[in-house]
Amino acid sequence: MAIGLAAGSLGSETDGSIVSPSSKNNVVGFKPTVGLVSRAGVMPISSHQDTARPMCRSVADAALLLSVIAGPDPRDEATLHQPGVLPDYMKALDPNALKGKRLGVPRMFLRDGERTFRALGAEIVDPADLPCAEEMKVSQAESLVLKTDFKVDVTNYISGLLKVPTGVKNLADLIDFNKTHADLELISPYHGNQDRFIEAEATEKTDAYYAALAEDFDLGRTRGVDATLQKYKLDAIILPADGLSSKPAAISGYPIISVPLGFQPDNVEILPLPAAPLHTQAPGLPFGIAFIGTGYSEFSLISIAYAFEQATHARLKRRAYAETIPATQIKDVLSA
């Protein structure tokens, strides 16, 4: 997608797996509300946070792809609770959509971006802090929920497969299989152990688990995204597309969209050395801006992201290496 070999792709996010790589690869990443898109067939981590999603070159591509994949599916119970008929997301592509919108900035980090939004007719509320931001940073609830959900959900996933040649039936079996085939499955330096699997296997759906799940919803929804939107009368919340910015959307199950914003300077120092496992900064490394809304606010987020994208065209301000740019496009083949 980053170099034009594909218009879009599908994948899944639990916490940041859409917005972070999209930000670093100069593309649009859109994580919809949990329950808008079916997870049937998707290898799970958490049924409370996982969602399938589009990653595309543009907001229009993402809106088109979302229109195709959204909707109820009897194989995923979460999708059966959608609020009525879904809108036509392509109708959200309005370049003037920012006029009159109220956007909140939880901390002062984006001066240039604020000027752009104001020039497009949006009202910026800065700061518009999440009331529970500090609690959210230190909370361990998400970790417990993800571990426990993974143990249960991976077993359900395996049981739904038509064929399992290895004979693995659950997480305990998977751990044993990896030990037996360590030369193939436990590859150093980043995948040399199974600590996360082992920690997940030790969990159970106890009162502590349900308390952690309630804490996630309280911090992410009640006292997080929803409280901020209501307190400041906002249409969306603006955040950087990297770091902790994905957590409010992750633990709440709410939508977040990342749009290209800019590139790191050419003289930036590459740190850390070596990568662990990726570089977090590098000359010309792209970065994006993210918009978060309440549940099922995808139409509004698309319109906001599209208006910003069309006004800035940030993605096009730095091209990929010449050697990687395809010489032939689809239109060339179709017209031949």
Series of mean pLDDT values for 10-residue runs along the chain (336 residues): 84 92 94 97 96 94 96 96 93 97 77 77 92 93 98 96 96 97 91 94 97 98 97 95 85 96 89 78 91 97 97 90 74 74
The terminus-to-terminus CA distance of the chain in angstroms comes to: 23
Question: What pLDDT is recorded for position 5?
Answer: 79
- CA distance to 1, 63, 102, per residue, from 9 (Å): 8, 12, 31
Closest among 288, 281, 302 to 245, alpha carbons compared: 288
Question: Domain locations in the chain?
Answer: 8-140+213-335, 143-207
Q: How far is CA 87 from CA 3, 64, 65, 135, in A?
A: 31, 12, 13, 35
| Structure token pair of residue 13 | 């996010």
pTM, two decimal places: 0.92
- Determine what percent of the chain falls in helix, strand and coil, rounding each to the nearest 5: 45, 15, 45
Which tokens sit at 196? 């996360």
Q: Which contiguous run of DSSP H or E holds residue 116?
A: helix 111-119
Architecture of domain 8-140+213-335: Alpha-Beta Complex (3.90)
